[in-house]
């Protein structure tokens, strides 16, 4: 009866093998040969623009290209997995600005300065907006170059031109006091169908990103310039958080779980007069199949208060991993992909905002209604503030976000929230060695 | 003869031969990662330089003074406790109804099994729309009966329960399926005996159905418990742990610490605590199963 | 009579609760953007559109679908093949000491560790084996991930097969393996089918391993396509719902076709283990 024994013992192997035959896919290929370039990117328009450019580059140069994409919320994990293990799967990673300091400080990225020198260039073109150049350097603004600014992005203030005109603010509010005073009137008379101001209150990155411009406008800062002190215990910080609580009182209920998409929904349906949001939504506001407010949305810089308003910069950066196998090829591609003509092309095809001054001023683009926000965005980026350039920003942001969420949800007073955040963030900064 | 000897040898060792492939696979794919994780839990990695240093049990020690951990543990306990109990009660009730035979039973069975076939991320995002304050259907429906402005997942008091509700919607079918199967296979004789004794439906359920169904109940509850203790997707998509940290679960915190904060040592240390916890809870059920003689030969 | 009406009422109301979100997803997938958020809600759009599905097709829908089909079916085959043998061994033979219980529990416990922690070493392992971005890599990972469930279900089915049947056959001169193949295995086929269906469903939906172990549409599965519709700022409601519908539909149709078999399979021999 041996055949049965053999059959039994081998059944697993046979089935497994046949399953494997079915299940073949392409094996991971070495990308050193033939100048292949592998790009890791998120699969939103920002990433798709670069991906398309890479395909085109591959055809032009006759080299193999591969695009590895993942949803925004997961591309970070994929990149960290590759970078921290030094596996060199990717030749180019597209990264969101808040991740940059961690990547650069951990020496996961290639210093691009020698490559510029070899080409006889001093560094990034001066056509790039200064603030966009600054965030590509480590240390900030003064250090070596580790990335190209691929896609421009900064928060803007969105307002309803028609509604604010009734309150004599046709070009948008100049100060946060205006925002609250007018916003309160609008909310009070809106009967639950029109709110003066909407805010992103979801715990984590959303609530912090929404709050930082307000925080800065009130003259507050999270850290001293050298990061050796946490400065959330100042009167300016308290004023800002108190003001946030006031804004919550005129915002739509449910703010505590809103992210950018919910805010855009209120805007599209015509249920809100003012908000801070990202330019990615501008195109849909002027699209009559989505929007009830076509032609009614205006854009302005962040309102001022104690100091001039400044928005948070959120560029997408393209960098070359330290373990990449085709660094020169990747560099050559990125030089081309971030050129003015390519940026213009990506703006037309994907609606991606540029990072070059000349593209922001391009007459063809400005003639189209969906790019009407370009001058405001160029100004917002020029006057933007980066997130604190610390490697543990994710954790600091998370901690601050928990306390802000408590204020938005009304379960903690602004004083207590700031005191708690001051203590906890100080502990985090000590752990990371910024505070001795 | 050689083949005869081989045959006898393999008959003798058949039990090991049959187990071997599974054990090898599991050793390779789960034990190796576990050993890797154990090593990671004894180290700390600098978020700035990536340097590793051995810290012994320090990661485990700092768990005890971490308020965020205890908050997450509390939320996970409530989520699991409430979620699994309700899923069990509903699953049992519907299993009892659907085990009787009537017209349309097959259709109802299929309908009730449907929710667990949707990808969890679709469920999470769809419920986020359904819960939306102004544009959500849930508040529109409540408005019809005069209840206005329910906060659902954006209220610090209601958020956790709104998430549990989604879990119940999606996973009661799992409970239902296993309990239904258990009910279908009960022998007929005890019922006939009970009928002869003049037992009411309730008495028959208490003294016949429930005891006979216990093994199926234990398995269903055990599998759900293990899955809810590591609930992640819904929370990540719907609330990000907020508002005011009221929905942060252990595995969300583990994810943030490990991936977002690059604090792999601490994240794995917390995972081991979660593993111990799951083992302890599971063991309660498994020892009951053993008492039910599932483990006897 | 009243109890029957009551039963019907309870069933109808609950079916409504169960069905509503599903119908919602399907109807969102054929709505235009304006209709998606209108209040009162529109269930059947006046001007339905299939453009979301067309967009998914240009995005490479069919390769995702094909990957999902191949991966889940291969996973089910492999897991059932290995798991059934292991389960039979645990159900029929006595290992020395208390090792039956220990091995069973150990197999179950491999499911308890948060997967988020095991993905890093798993990724490294797959890299060494050259299996990153292959369907085979995914199948192996899923086989391990589904094994506890399969072993425990199958074990319960084998326990219920009377030993006498096999012993009679063995007295007649069958080897143990012969008895297993000729007597026990045919008896648990419904259980095998039911367990296989569960395995297909679980691997069909799996997201985390798929995210880490796949890179491109060469091996990526449908859940990756679904979550790709949630971008940094915007949720592409129509496309996401369409992708969700496509993910759900095949399993749902499948479940409807085999529903009777599924419950009967599960019920064979009481789900005791």
Q: Domain coordinates of chain C in residue numbers? A: 1-49, 57-267
What pLDDT does C37 receive?
76
Report yes or no on B249 lying in a domain.
Answer: yes
Mean pLDDT computed over A385-392: 92
Burial class (CB in 10 A: 0-12, 13-18, 19+), A43: buried
What pLDDT does A30 receive?
42
- Closest by CA to A201, choosing from A258, A271, A251, is A258
Rounded CA separation A420/B219 (Å): 44
Which residues of chain B does C143 touch, with a Cβ-Cβ cutoff of 8 Å? 25
A350 vs B121, higher pLDDT:
A350
Which residues of chain B does C138 touch, with a Cβ-Cβ cutoff of 8 Å? none
Which residues of chain C does A156 touch, with a Cβ-Cβ cutoff of 8 Å? none
Mean pLDDT computed over B64-69: 92
Whether the bond between B243 and the residue before it is cis, its omega within 30 degrees of 0, is yes
Establish if C7 touches chain B: CB-CB under 8 angstroms. yes
Angle, alpha carbons A246-A389-A86 (nearest 5°): 130
What pLDDT does B222 receive?
87
Establish if B109 touches chain C: CB-CB under 8 angstroms. yes
Chains that touch B (3 or more CB pairs under 8 A): A, C
| Confidence label for C265 from pLDDT (cuts 50, 70 and 90) | low
> Does C233 contact A278 at a Cβ distance shorter than 8 Å?
yes
Count of A–C CB contacts within 8 Å?
141
Which residues of chain B does C4 touch, with a Cβ-Cβ cutoff of 8 Å? 102
User: Which of C26, C38, C42, C117 is the best substitution to test chain B (most B C-beta atoms within 10 A)?
Assistant: C117
Which residues of chain C does A268 touch, with a Cβ-Cβ cutoff of 8 Å? 37
Q: What is the pLDDT of residues B201-213, one digit of tens each?
A: 888 888 888 888 8
pLDDT surpassing 90 at residue C196? no
Q: What is the pLDDT of residues A185-223, one digit of tens each?
A: 999 999 889 999 999 999 988 999 999 999 999 999 999
Which residues of chain A does B142 touch, with a Cβ-Cβ cutoff of 8 Å? none
> Does C134 contact A28 at a Cβ distance shorter than 8 Å?
yes
A267 vs A43, higher pLDDT:
A267
Q: H/E/C letters for each residue in chain A?
A: CHHHHHHHHHHHHHHHHHHHHHCCCCCCCCCCHHHCEEEEEECCHHHHHHHHHHHHHHHHHCCCEEEEEECHHHHHHHHHHHHHHCCCCCCEEEEEHHHHHHHHHCCCECCCHHHHHHCCCCCCCCCECHHHHHCCEECCCCCEECCEEEECCECEEEEEHHHHHHCCCCCCCCEHHHHHHHHHHHHHHHCCCCEEEECCCCCCHHHHHHHHHHHHHCCCCCECCCCCCECCCCHHHHHHHHHHHHHHHHCCCCHHHCCHHHHHHHHHCCCEEEEEECHHHHHHHCCCCCCCCCCCEEEECCCECCCCCCCEECCEEEECECCCCCHHHHHHHHHHHCCHHHHHHHHHHHCCCCCEHHHHCCHHHHCCHHHCCHHHHHHHHHCCECCCCCCCHHHHHHHHHHHHHHHHHCCCCHHHHHHHHHHHHHHHHHHCCCCC
What pLDDT does A388 receive?
93
pLDDT surpassing 70 at residue B297? no
| Confidence label for A28 from pLDDT (cuts 50, 70 and 90) | very low
What pLDDT does A173 receive?
96
* β-bridge mates for residue A276, sequence order: A157
Mean pLDDT computed over A230-255: 96
| Confidence label for C153 from pLDDT (cuts 50, 70 and 90) | confident
> Does C120 contact B36 at a Cβ distance shorter than 8 Å?
yes
A130 vs A74, higher pLDDT:
A130
> Does C112 contact B29 at a Cβ distance shorter than 8 Å?
no
The tokens describing C187, both together, are 């008896």
What pLDDT does A20 receive?
43
Q: How far apart are the first and last CA of chain B?
A: 33
Q: CATH 3.40.190.10 in chain A, residues? A: 33-153+314-382, 156-312+392-431
Establish if C82 touches chain B: CB-CB under 8 angstroms. yes
Q: Tell whether the torsion through CA atoms of B34, B38, B39 and B45 is positive or negative.
A: positive
> Does A16 contact C231 at a Cβ distance shorter than 8 Å?
no
Q: How many domains does chain B have?
A: 1
Rounded CA separation A142/A133 (Å): 10
What pLDDT does B2 receive?
65
The β-bridge relationship of strands A37-42 and A65-70 is parallel
Chains that touch A (3 or more CB pairs under 8 A): B, C
What pLDDT does A231 receive?
96
CATH number of A156-312+392-431: 3.40.190.10
Residue with tokens 């359920």: B205
How far off is chain C from A272, nearest CA to CA, in Å?
A: 15
What pLDDT does C271 receive?
40
Rounded CA separation B48/A102 (Å): 7
The tokens describing B55, both together, are 């810290």
Mean pLDDT of chain A: 89
Rounded CA separation A212/A229 (Å): 18
> Taking CA atoms, what residue in B is nearest to C151?
B22
> Does B242 contact A207 at a Cβ distance shorter than 8 Å?
yes
What pLDDT does C260 receive?
66
Give me the phi and psi of B45, to 5 degrees please. -115, 125
> Does A432 contact B152 at a Cβ distance shorter than 8 Å?
no
> Which C-chain residues 45-84 have CB contacts (< 8 A) with chain A?
67, 70-71, 73-75, 77-78, 81-82
Specify the fold of C57-267: MetI-like fold (1.10.3720)
Instruction: Judge contact between A140 and A386, C-beta under 8 A.
Output: yes
* β-bridge mates for residue B43, sequence order: B54
Rounded CA separation B267/B270 (Å): 5
Instruction: Judge contact between C251 and C72, C-beta under 8 A.
Output: no
Instruction: Judge contact between A281 and A267, C-beta under 8 A.
Output: yes
The parent domain of residue B148 ranges over: 61-291
Residue with tokens 């039963």: C7
What percent of chain A has pLDDT above 70? Answer: 92
B286 vs C69, higher pLDDT:
C69
- Rounded to two decimals, what is the model's pTM? 0.87
What pLDDT does B178 receive?
81
What percent of chain B has pLDDT above 70? Answer: 95
Of C77, C136, C180, the CB nearest to A8: C180
Mean pLDDT of chain B: 86
Instruction: Judge contact between C251 and B118, C-beta under 8 A.
Output: no
What pLDDT does C263 receive?
58
- Here the CATH number for the domain that contains residue B224 is 1.10.3720.10
Rounded CA separation A327/C194 (Å): 52
Report yes or no on B31 lying in a domain.
Answer: no
The tokens describing B114, both together, are 């449907």
Q: H/E/C letters for each residue in A166-187?
A: HCCCCCCCCEHHHHHHHHHHHH
Mean pLDDT computed over C8-18: 93
For residue C67, how many other CB atoms are within 10 A of its CB?
24
Instruction: Judge contact between A174 and A347, C-beta under 8 A.
Output: no
Q: What is the pLDDT of residues B235-246, one digit of tens each?
A: 888 888 889 899
The alpha carbon of C234 is separated from its chain's Cα centroid by a whole number of angstroms, namely: 30
> Does B244 contact A252 at a Cβ distance shorter than 8 Å?
no
The torsion defined by the Cα of A34, A40, A42 and A44, in degrees rounded to 10, comes to -10
- Using DSSP's 3-state secondary structure scheme, residue B50 falls into coil
Which residues of chain B does A106 touch, with a Cβ-Cβ cutoff of 8 Å? 48-50
> Which B-chain residues 226-265 have CB contacts (< 8 A) with chain C?
226, 229-230, 232-233, 237, 251, 254-255, 258-259, 264
Burial class (CB in 10 A: 0-12, 13-18, 19+), A237: buried
- Closest by CA to B176, choosing from B273, B129, B109, is B109
For residue B104, how many other CB atoms are within 10 A of its CB?
11
**DSSP per-residue letters across B6-39:** HHHHHHHTHHHHHHHHHHHHHIIIIIHHHHHHHH
| Confidence label for B292 from pLDDT (cuts 50, 70 and 90) | low
| Confidence label for C267 from pLDDT (cuts 50, 70 and 90) | low
Alpha helices (H) along chain C: 2-29, 33-36, 51-58, 61-92, 99-109, 115-128, 135-160, 163-171, 176-179, 185-187, 189-205, 208-213, 222-227, 237-267
What pLDDT does A209 receive?
94
B266 vs A4, higher pLDDT:
B266
Report yes or no on B11 lying in a domain.
Answer: no
Q: Produce one character per residue of C74-108: b if its CB has 16 or more CB atoms within 10 Å, e if not.
A: bbbbbbbbbbbbbbbbbbbeeeeeeebbebbbbbb
How far off is chain B from A347, nearest CA to CA, in Å?
A: 29
B135 vs A227, higher pLDDT:
A227
A19 vs C264, higher pLDDT:
C264
| Confidence label for C273 from pLDDT (cuts 50, 70 and 90) | very low
Which residues of chain C does B109 touch, with a Cβ-Cβ cutoff of 8 Å? 259, 263
3-state helix, strand, coil in chain B (%, to 5): 75, 0, 25
pLDDT surpassing 70 at residue A27? no
> Taking CA atoms, what residue in B is nearest to C7?
B97
The tokens describing A183, both together, are 């916003």
pLDDT surpassing 80 at residue B27? yes
Instruction: Judge contact between A321 and A83, C-beta under 8 A.
Output: yes
Which residues of chain A does C63 touch, with a Cβ-Cβ cutoff of 8 Å? none
Burial class (CB in 10 A: 0-12, 13-18, 19+), A16: buried
Establish if B162 touches chain C: CB-CB under 8 angstroms. no
Instruction: Judge contact between C54 and A282, C-beta under 8 A.
Output: no
Residues comprising chain A, all counted: 436
Mean pLDDT computed over B193-201: 84
Specify the fold of A33-153+314-382: D-Maltodextrin-Binding Protein; domain 2 (3.40.190)
The tokens describing B124, both together, are 């999470």
Report yes or no on B35 lying in a domain.
Answer: no
> Does B117 contact C201 at a Cβ distance shorter than 8 Å?
yes
- Closest by CA to B122, choosing from C26, C143, A95, A150, is C26
How far off is chain C from B204, nearest CA to CA, in Å?
A: 18
pLDDT surpassing 90 at residue B125? no
């Amino acid at each position: 009866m041996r055949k049965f024994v053999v059959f039994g013992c081998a059944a697993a192997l046979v089935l497994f093998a046949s399953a494997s035959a079915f299940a073949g896919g392409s094996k991971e290929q070495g990308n050193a040969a033939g100048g292949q370039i592998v790009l890791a990117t998120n699969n939103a328009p920002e990433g798709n623009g670069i991906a398309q450019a890479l395909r085109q580059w591959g055809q032009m140069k006759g080299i193999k290209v591969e695009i590895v994409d993942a949803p925004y919320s997961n591309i970070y994990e994929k990149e960290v997995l590759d970078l921290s293990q030094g596996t060199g799967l990717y030749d180019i990673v597209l990264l969101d600005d808040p991740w940059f300091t961690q990547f650069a400080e951990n020496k996961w990225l290639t210093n691009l300065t020698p490559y510029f020198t070899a080409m006889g260039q001093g560094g990034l073109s001066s056509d790039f907006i200064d603030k966009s150049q600054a965030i590509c350097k480590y240390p900030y603004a003064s250090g070596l170059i580790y990335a190209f600014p691929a896609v421009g992005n900064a928060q803007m203030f969105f307002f309803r031109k028609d509604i604010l005109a009734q309150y004599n603010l046709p070009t948008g509010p100049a100060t946060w006091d205006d925002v609250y005073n007018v916003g309160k009137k609008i909310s009070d008379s809106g009967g639950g169908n029109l709110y003066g101001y909407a805010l992103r209150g979801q715990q984590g990155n959303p609530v912090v990103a929404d709050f930082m411009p307000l925080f800065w406008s009130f003259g507050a800062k999270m850290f001293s310039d050298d990061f050796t002190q946490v400065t959330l215990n100042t009167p300016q910080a308290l004023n800002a958080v108190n003001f946030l609580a006031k804004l919550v009182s005129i915002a739509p209920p449910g703010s505590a779980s809103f992210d950018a998409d919910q805010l855009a929904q209120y805007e599209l349906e015509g249920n809100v007069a003012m908000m801070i949001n990202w330019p990615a939504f501008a195109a849909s506001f002027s699209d009559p199949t989505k929007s009830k407010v076509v032609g009614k949305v205006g854009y302005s810089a962040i309102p001022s208060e104690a100091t001039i308003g400044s928005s948070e910069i959120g560029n997408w950066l393209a960098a070359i991993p330290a373990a990449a196998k085709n660094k020169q090829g990747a560099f050559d591609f990125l030089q081309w992909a971030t050129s003015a003509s390519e940026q213009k092309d990506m703006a037309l095809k994907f609606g991606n905002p540029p990072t070059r001054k000349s593209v922001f001023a391009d007459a063809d683009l400005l003639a189209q209604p969906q790019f009407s926000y370009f001058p405001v965005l160029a100004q917002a980026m020029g006057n933007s503030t980066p997130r604190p350039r610390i490697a543990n920003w994710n954790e600091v942001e998370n901690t601050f976000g928990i306390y802000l969420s408590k204020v938005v949800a009304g379960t903690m007073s602004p004083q207590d929230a700031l005191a708690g955040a001051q203590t906890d963030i100080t502990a985090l900064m000590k752990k990371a060695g910024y505070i001795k | 003869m050689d083949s005869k000897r081989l045959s006898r040898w393999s008959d003798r060792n058949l039990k090991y031969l049959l187990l071997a492939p599974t054990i090898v696979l599991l050793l390779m794919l789960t034990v190796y990662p576990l050993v890797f994780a154990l090593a990671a839990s004894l180290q700390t990695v600098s978020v700035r330089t990536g340097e590793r240093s051995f810290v012994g049990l320090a990661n485990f020690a700092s768990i005890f003074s971490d308020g965020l951990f205890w908050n997450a543990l509390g939320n996970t306990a409530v989520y699991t406790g409430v979620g699994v109990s309700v899923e069990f009660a509903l699953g049992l009730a519907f299993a009892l109804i659907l085990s009787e035979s009537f017209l349309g039973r097959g259709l109802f069975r299929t309908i009730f099994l449907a929710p667990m076939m949707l990808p969890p991320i679709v469920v999470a995002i769809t419920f986020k729309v359904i819960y939306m304050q102004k544009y959500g259907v849930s508040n529109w429906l409540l408005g019809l009966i005069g209840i206005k402005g329910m906060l659902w997942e954006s209220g610090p008091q209601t958020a956790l329960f709104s998430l549990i509700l989604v879990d119940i919607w999606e996973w009661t079918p799992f409970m239902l399926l296993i309990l239904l199967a258990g009910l279908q296979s009960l022998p007929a004789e005890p019922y006939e005996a009970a009928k002869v004794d003049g037992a009411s439906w309730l008495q028959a359920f208490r003294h016949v159905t429930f005891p006979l169904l216990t093994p199926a109940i234990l398995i269903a509850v055990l599998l759900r418990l293990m899955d809810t203790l590591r609930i992640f997707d819904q929370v990540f998509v719907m609330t990000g742990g907020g508002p005011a940290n009221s929905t942060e679960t252990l595995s969300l915190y583990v994810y943030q610490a490990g991936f977002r904060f690059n604090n792999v040592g601490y994240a794995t240390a917390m995972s081991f605590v979660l593993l111990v916890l799951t083992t302890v809870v599971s063991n309660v059920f498994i020892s009951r199963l053993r008492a039910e003689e599932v483990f006897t030969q | 009579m009243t109890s029957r009406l009551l039963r019907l009422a309870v069933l109808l109301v609950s079916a409504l609760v169960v069905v509503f979100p599903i119908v919602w997803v399907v109807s969102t997938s054929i709505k235009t953007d304006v209709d998606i958020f209108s209040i009162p809600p529109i269930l059947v759009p006046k001007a339905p559109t299939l453009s979301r599905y067309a967009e998914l097709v240009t995005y490479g829908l069919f390769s995702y679908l094909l990957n999902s089909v191949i991966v889940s079916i291969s996973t089910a085959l492999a897991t059932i093949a290995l798991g059934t043998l292991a389960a039979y061994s645990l159900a029929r033979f006595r290992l020395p000491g208390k090792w039956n219980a220990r091995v069973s529990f150990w197999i179950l416990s491999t499911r308890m560790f948060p997967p988020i922690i095991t993905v890093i070493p798993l990724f490294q392992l797959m890299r060494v084996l050259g299996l990153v971005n292959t369907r085979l890599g995914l199948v192996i990972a899923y086989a391990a991930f589904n094994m506890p469930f399969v072993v425990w279900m199958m074990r319960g089915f084998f326990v219920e097969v009377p030993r006498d049947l096999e012993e009679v056959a063995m007295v007649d001169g069958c080897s143990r393996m012969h008895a297993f193949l000729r007597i026990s295995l045919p008896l648990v086929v419904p259980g095998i089918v039911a367990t296989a269906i569960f395995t297909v469903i679980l691997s069909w939906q799996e997201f985390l391993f798929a995210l880490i172990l796949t890179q491109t549409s060469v091996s990526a599965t449908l859940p990756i396509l679904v979550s790709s519709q949630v971008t940094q700022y915007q949720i592409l409601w129509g496309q996401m719902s369409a992708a969700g519908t496509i993910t759900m539909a095949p399993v749902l149709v499948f479940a409807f076709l085999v529903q009777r078999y599924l419950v009967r399979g599960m019920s064979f021999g009481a789900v005791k283990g």
